[in-house]
A and B are shown apart, each in its own frame.
Chain A
Amino acid sequence: MSYASSLYLTGAEVGLSLVGLVLLLVSAWSGPRSGRMLTVIAGAALLAAAVFSIHLFDRASGDVAARAFGDLYRADAFGSFAKVLIYLATAAVLVVTPRFFAQVGGYRGEYPVLMLFNAVGMGMMVSASDLMTLYIGLEMSSLSSYILASFLRQDDRSAEAGLKYFVLGALASGIILYGVSLVYGFTGTTNYEGIRAAFDTNFSTGALFGVVFVLAGLAFKVSAVPFHMWTPDVYEGAPTPVTAFFASAPKVAAMGMLLRMAMDPFAGEVDSWRQIVIFAALASIVVGALGAIGQQNLKRLLAYSSINNVGFILIGLAAATPAGVAGALTYLTIYVAMVVGSFTALLMLRDPTGNNLETFADISGLSTKRPALAWSLLAVMFSLAGIPPLFGFWGKFVVFQAAVQADLVALAVIGIAASVIGAFYYLKFIKVMFFDEPVREVEASSPIGHWAVLAVCVAIISPLGYLLTIPLGEWTAQAAASFVAAM
């Protein structure tokens, strides 16, 4: 395994790191004025990384040999698929970011740089095939996330969000590290393949503890119940574009990491962890749905919605079959479109003086003031609720189908019945926008960049999305086959 091949397989991460370092220097010398330019360059770099990942995906479909640096890292179809999602989501968030900070002030060149480093870390998370690589990627992503959360230094809520995220995130990292050390202690290796082989011969109670700790830490990262408490506070406090970012790309990365962890090193011990995942899935669906009902702040509400969505993705994992993994990836893809769309729409909601609107009272009667925006939000909300013919339904459909095929009918029944609770608050969104009388003035127009992102997201989740089901099904099946090949 030559260095050239290793560097080629990690090309996206290497390239993004280099761009990030150069941009860091540029921003240090040119001061805060260069922020917008750096954002454009960072966005372009992310798109290039996404294109490169697509190339790797085509090349690596089902190819087990796509390993770099002595199997510390795998550029397989799964990793490449997740990376395309991550990079595209990050780029989309960058498009809608500068205008927010232009209003509240405090935009600096560090922001796109941090996003780039975050993207590098996330790429490593989904591609790592060794506990060490995994931890480095995780920390790289987490540390930049803590800073991003508190990026509005003058704002108390933002600072609080950053601190809260940091303290709880560090705790979760500690839990993972503890689990990692136990796993290493009982298997004598940090390599996924090695762990798996060792578990197959002997799976002791101590190793089980390791698995449980690792999964608990990862559950924190995906904000699954009962490790979700930080999510509403951080989502509410962080600047809105950062919230949009947290809800999309890092979610994909953490979920990708969890899927790989569960289906590769721990794949032999499905019966040991399935009940944990089932509990987390159902608890997330229920808590995410119930917690959202009383919320007035839209960001907080969307935070609970993301907890709720994580529950559905975990149902795909609980199936522990290739179809389940493919379903979870399909769900993630659609989820990214929905969440980016919803936050972009939220960023477009401003009063005439430019202040951001973020409570239910603010969007009352929006359909008469901004019909296009209101209809877009309507599509996003019905999609999140999983009502056909919107594409969000397809995400739920594939994970529940995987659960039914894996004979987890009871899980599917409880999960889908609980999804009806969730429909309640998505309906409230629509009720407030369409049925209530307008009370607030809203800004009459939005920049073209926001419209473009929103239009792409809405086009994906509209019924047109069903035309994507065949290619999406093939791609996710290929991605899921990475693990089968490893099995």
Chain B
Amino acid sequence: MEFPILSLMLAVPLAGAIACLFLGAQAARMTALLATLINLALGILLWMNFEIGGAQWQFVERAEIFAGFSYALGIDGIALMLIMLSVFLMPICVLASWDAITKRVGEYMSAFLLMEVLMIGVFAAQDLYLFYIFFEAGLIPMYLIIGVWGGDNRIYASYKFFLYTLLGSVLMLIAMMWMVNQAGTTDIPTLLNYDFDPSAQTWLWLAFFASFAVKMPMWPVHTWLPDAHVQAPTAGSVILAGVLLKLGGYGFIRFSLPMFPEASEQFAWLVYILSMIAVIYTSLVALVQNDMKKLIAYSSVAHMAIVTVGLFAFNVQGIEGAMMVMLGHGLVSGALFLCVGVIYDRLHTREIARYGGLAINMPKYALFFLLFTMASIGLPGTSNFIGEFLALAGIYKVSTLVTLVCTTGIILGAAYMLYLYRRVAFGEQKNADAAAMPDLNAREWAMLAPIAAAVLWMGVYPESFLAPMRQDIAALEARIARAAPDFDADNVIGTPREHNANYVAAAHGEEGAH
């Protein structure tokens, strides 16, 4: 029996969550920070002990304590990376809420720690129903975080978030029941290699799609996201963008693609079309936003569309790229929300026009903000470049049209991000109160510096992140290769013609020699 590190990673925040309910404000903050830091340490331990190129599923734990499903945990490289993302962002979220949250701190920290338990659970679950329970349970703390500590329109946003995602996932539950009934097991690794009948796959794929497309979110079911983001407190937005959105992508990688390869191919066009619309449409919408958080929320939808396109490219580059975009976007959009939070805490408005010229009075802040803006655009040397480049390279092998449209989206991304940055950080200091804001304090440094380091690390040496996933992505690619779509512009290199184009037959040549 190995040391049950995954269970411990679930137990630590859970114990913290229960403790926070009974503690005063400052004690709850300290407890939450401590619990998340312990989990970060455990996460690092997990990564260090993860054997690259070893067994596909590592740190496996199993206990038959439930009827009909089992408590089975275990991770592969893909799950490892997403767990790392979660445990990395969590202490930062606690720091971001340190001063911003003043009412009912204990309950707030409790909800966040619970969120961490559930996210790790989703990525580590090896049982279909256990996955569903963790997946769905995340609605409860997020509903409370948005509803209790959110902005003015929080109630509408919390309802919309809850009901949208619930409707998506209940259909997936029925599909799961059907699968278990058919395959006779709830074990995910077994199901990954179970071949469902292609005609049944169609329905199963659609049911899973209903859930993951909402979580992702894909156009046109993305509308809950801007509302939820805008109303949630800063740390809520970070977790929402940083990790919760990744649940959709993780679902596609873990379930839709390997379990229903034929159906995935059958519906690839649907994914492409929705993604192309999302990239162009939400980028255009982002251009005209006055609210900073809304702008970043729409940019998230656009980035996630790159992820779906990469995933449904059915090749290694595409899937690796999609994973890198997910990790990179988790860091970068989280950091951008933190940047918004930093100035929101000072001025209590997210309206872009109320700021301006921050580079003058907040140079350090402006530097961080610039780095994350550039990363969001996908500048080489930052995390998002690696992901976007790979994802687009992957999809180019399938469809040049989709690549064209999605690349246009990246240009638009540069437009709206640079436009945002210009209005906030450059120009003249229009507003006296914004001009008087102090620069970053130590706590904010502690939040932004680690993310900045991670963004650069991922951009300069992505191998650290790609290596643990390589084997799993290769296995996935091998699994779905049989259904991979054809290349639309599959240009065949023809045999060279015998003569040059201006070659003139010999008989004529003599005549023309005069």
Contacts and interface: CB of A to CB of B under 8 A. Distances in A.
A382 B140 contact: yes
A387 B174 contact: no
A405 interface: yes
Nearest to A418: B170
Given A387-B137, A388-B137, A401 B171 contact: no
A472 interface: yes
A470 interface: yes
B147 A434 contact: yes
A413 B163 contact: no
A388 B68 contact: no
Interface stretch (B33-41, B154-162, B349-357): B154-162
Contact of B177 (A387, A393, A400, A470): A400
Nearest to A410: B174
Contacts of A419: 170
Given A431-B147, A469-B68, A404 B174 contact: yes
Contacts of B134: 389
B167 A412 contact: no
A469 B170 contact: no
A240 to B, nearest CB: 28
A423 B166 CA distance: 9
B439 interface: no
A102 interface: no
A412 B148 contact: no
A485 interface: no
A7 interface: no
Contacts of A388: 132-133, 136-137
Contacts of B139: 387
Interface residues of B, number: 33
Contacts of A423: 162-163, 166
B143 interface: yes
Contacts of A417: 167, 170-171
B67 interface: yes
A467 interface: yes
Most chain-A CB neighbours within 10 Å: which of B134, B163, B177, B181?
A: B177
Nearest to A466: B66
Contacts of B159: 424, 427, 431
A387 B136 CA distance: 7
A375 B148 CA distance: 14
A404 B66 contact: no
B111 to A, nearest CB: 11
Interface in A411-437: 412-413, 416-417, 419-420, 423-424, 427, 430-431, 434-435
Contacts of A398: 68
A327 to B, nearest CB: 11
Given A419-B170, A420-B163, A427-B159, A404 B68 contact: no
A466 B127 CA distance: 15
Nearest to A419: B170
Interface string A367-401: 01000000100000010000111000100011011
Given A389-B137, A401-B68, A409 B170 contact: no
A368 B159 CA distance: 21
Contacts of B158: 431, 435
A412 B176 CA distance: 12
Nearest to B203: A409
Contacts of B171: 413, 416-417
Contacts of B147: 430-431, 434-435
Interface in B159-215: 159, 162-163, 166-167, 170-171, 173-174, 177-178, 181
A473 interface: yes
Contacts of A435: 147-148, 154-155, 158
Contacts of A469: 66-68
A423 B136 CA distance: 13
Contacts of A405: 177, 181
Given A387-B136, A419-B170, A404 B181 contact: yes
How extensive is the interface on chain A, given as a class?
A: 20 to 34
A474 B144 CA distance: 36
Contacts of A387: 136-137, 139-140, 166
Contacts, number: 89
Interface in A429-487: 430-431, 434-435, 466-467, 469-470, 472-474
Nearest to B132: A388
Nearest to A472: B67
Contact of B174 (A400, A424, A430): A400
A412 B133 contact: no
B65 interface: yes
Contact of A400 (B133, B140, B173): B173
A420 B134 CA distance: 18
Contact of B163 (A412, A424, A431, A473): A424
B168 to A, nearest CB: 9
Contacts of A420: 163, 166-167, 170
A431 B147 CA distance: 7
Most chain-A CB neighbours within 10 Å: which of B147, B159, B170, B178?
A: B170
Nearest to B64: A470
Contact of A412 (B66, B104, B137, B177): B177
Interface string B402-436: 00000000000000000000000000000000000
Contacts of B177: 400-401, 404-405, 412
A412 B172 CA distance: 12
Most chain-B CB neighbours within 10 Å: which of A387, A393, A398?
A: A387
A416 B166 contact: no
A431 B132 CA distance: 25
Contacts of B163: 420, 423-424, 427
Contact of B173 (A416, A430, A467, A472): A416
Contacts of B167: 417, 420
Contacts of A431: 147, 155, 158-159
Given A388-B136, A400-B173, A434-B148, A470 B66 contact: yes
Nearest to B135: A388
B160 to A, nearest CB: 11
A472 B67 CA distance: 9
A417 B207 CA distance: 12
A405 B174 CA distance: 11
A417 to B, nearest CB: 6
Contacts of B174: 400, 404, 409, 412-413, 416
A435 B144 CA distance: 8
Contacts of B66: 466-467, 469-470
B20 to A, nearest CB: 13
A159 B247 CA distance: 54
Contacts of A409: 174, 178
A474 B68 CA distance: 11
Contacts of B166: 387, 420, 423
A355 B509 CA distance: 115
A459 B434 CA distance: 51
A171 B21 CA distance: 52
A401 to B, nearest CB: 5
Nearest to A416: B170
A457 to B, nearest CB: 18
Contacts of B170: 416-417, 419-420
Nearest 3 A-B pairs (CB), nearest first?
A473-B67, A469-B67, A388-B133
Interface of B: 21, 65-68, 104, 129, 132-134, 136-137, 139-140, 143-144, 147-148, 154-155, 158-159, 162-163, 166-167, 170-171, 173-174, 177-178, 181
Given A387-B136, A388-B132, A466-B65, 15 more contacts: A375-B21, A388-B136, A388-B137, A400-B173, A416-B174, A417-B170, A420-B167, A423-B162, A427-B159, A427-B163, A430-B147, A435-B154, A467-B66, A469-B68, A473-B68
9 contacts: A388-B136, A393-B136, A397-B68, A404-B174, A412-B177, A420-B166, A424-B159, A427-B162, A430-B144
Interface of A: 368, 375, 382, 387-389, 393, 397-398, 400-401, 404-405, 409, 412-413, 416-417, 419-420, 423-424, 427, 430-431, 434-435, 466-467, 469-470, 472-474
